[in-house]
């Protein structure tokens, strides 16, 4: 008989962070930089842990230059993928991150693949996903992954939930997966579902070590594609990595590793990404001030979520 798990599972929109007494005088006192040492690779990372999604339109070199972060090598889990990745990593010894990215991180084949990559690259930091439950986070970490990507179906241009009926509310997924990962000294990325700076703060509050954003970074100057002018409006194209647009562009390569399709949308042109980044970082600093966290790393320890029926006043939205 099918089982119904009646435990309450929540999304970012279902909660707010409760303000707490704080000795911080101003948001400029908040330190957003985090330092992590990864469990299996033993490599160390320092930086503000916000990552641009590995998608055609937003994951561009121009974006990376602004984010001034490192571009991990990303791979599916087939034999060809392994050969291709090996040749790239041999050619580019400075690349220290490997991202093993499949839509469904639950297959036994994927676990075996993570073990294979760990054996071949003992000192690279391996990110693996996507999953949404603690037991799978533990299995992937014990198989050699350092950072687990969490999120099935929350993405802005993702149609997994409507196509397959599969998914997990992102806030609960992050809380549960962070708990499992941290118990083993592993790390997680909350991947997808953030719609505003407040959601990024909630993801960190829920225990995410890194937050990955696609839609929030779309539509900027640094994104791929031209600005489209229509009816006096400036727009830019943004599409999911398994949308028709991506499929055509990559001639089937994407279809193999993404189970379900994505959307292609036109989003308002938002100017330079610098402004959006400052908006997100300003929001995060304020969140930390409201809950009394002097460092971003302390945010989850200071976070109490309250369940709400309305996040914001919609009169003028």
Question: Residues 270, 220: contact at Cβ < 8 Å?
Answer: yes
Of 24 and 196, which has the nearer Cβ to ligand 5GP? 196
Q: Considering the rule CB under 6 A, would residue 157 count as an interface residue with ligand 5GP? A: yes
Estimate to the nearest angstrom the gap between the alpha carbon of 133 and the chain centroid: 15
Q: Binding residue for ligand 5GP (CB under 6 A) from 67, 126, 132, 158?
A: 158
Question: Residues 75, 98: contact at Cβ < 8 Å?
Answer: yes
Task: Determine whether the annotation assigns residue 180 to a binding site.
Answer: no
Task: Determine whether the annotation assigns residue 211 to a binding site.
Answer: no
Q: Considering the rule CB under 6 A, would residue 262 count as an interface residue with ligand 5GP? A: yes
Q: Considering the rule CB under 6 A, would residue 59 count as an interface residue with ligand 5GP? A: no
Candidate list 57, 160, 245, 276, residue with the active-site label? 160
Q: Binding residue for ligand 5GP (CB under 6 A) from 143, 160, 287, 300?
A: 160
Of 127 and 291, which has the nearer Cβ to ligand 5GP? 127
What is the full DSSP assignment across 158-176? B-HHHHH-----HHHHHHH
Task: Determine whether the annotation assigns residue 252 to a binding site.
Answer: no
Q: Where are the alpha helices (DSSP H) in the chain?
A: 61-67, 79-91, 108-120, 134-142, 160-164, 170-183, 197-205, 244-249, 273-291, 299-302
Q: How far is CA 43 from CA 33, 46, 122, 162, in A?
A: 17, 10, 11, 39
What is the C-alpha separation between 276 and 262, in angstroms, rounded? Answer: 24
Candidate list 57, 125, 158, 177, residue with the active-site label? 158
Read off the DSSP letter of residue 268. E
Which string of x and - marks every residue 165-204 that binds ligand 5GP (by CB under 6 A)? Answer: --------------------------xxxx----------
Q: Name the site residues for ligand 5GP (rule: CB under 6 A).
A: 53, 55, 103, 151, 155-158, 160, 191-194, 212-216, 240-243, 258, 260, 262
Q: Which residues are catalytic?
A: 158, 160
């Amino acid at each position: 008989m099918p089982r119904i798990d009646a435990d309450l599972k929540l999304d970012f929109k279902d909660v707010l962070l409760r303000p707490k007494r704080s000795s911080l005088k101003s948001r400029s006192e908040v330190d957003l930089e985090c330092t992590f040492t990864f469990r299996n690779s033993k490599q160390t990372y320092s930086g503000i842990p916000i990552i641009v999604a590995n998608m055609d339109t937003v994951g561009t070199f121009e974006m990376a230059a602004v984010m001034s972060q490192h571009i991990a090598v990303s791979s599916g889990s087939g034999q060809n993928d392994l050969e291709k990745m090996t040749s790239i990593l041999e050619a580019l010894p400075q690349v220290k991150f490997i991202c093993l990215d499949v839509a469904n991180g639950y297959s036994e084949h994927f676990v075996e693949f993570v073990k294979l990559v760990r054996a071949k690259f003992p000192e690279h930091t391996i990110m693996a996903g996507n999953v949404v439950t603690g037991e799978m986070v533990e299995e992937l970490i014990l198989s050699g992954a350092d950072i687990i990507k969490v999120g099935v179906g929350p993405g802005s241009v993702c149609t997994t939930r409507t196509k397959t009926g599969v998914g997990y509310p992102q806030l609960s997924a992050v809380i549960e997966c962070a708990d499992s990962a941290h118990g083993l000294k592993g790390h997680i990325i909350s991947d997808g579902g953030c719609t505003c700076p407040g959601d990024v703060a909630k993801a960190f509050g829920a225990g995410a070590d890194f937050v990955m954003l696609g839609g929030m970074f779309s539509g900027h100057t640094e994104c791929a594609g031209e600005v489209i002018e229509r009816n006096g409006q400036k727009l830019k194209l943004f599409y999911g990595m398994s949308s028709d647009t991506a499929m055509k562009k990559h001639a089937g390569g994407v279809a193999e590793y993404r189970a379900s399709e994505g959307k292609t949308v036109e989003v308002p042109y938002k100017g330079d990404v610098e402004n959006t980044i400052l908006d997100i970082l300003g929001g995060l600093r304020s969140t930390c001030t409201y809950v009394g966290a002097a460092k971003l790393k302390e945010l989850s320890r200071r976070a109490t979520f309250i369940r709400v029926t309305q996040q914001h006043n919609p009169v003028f939205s």
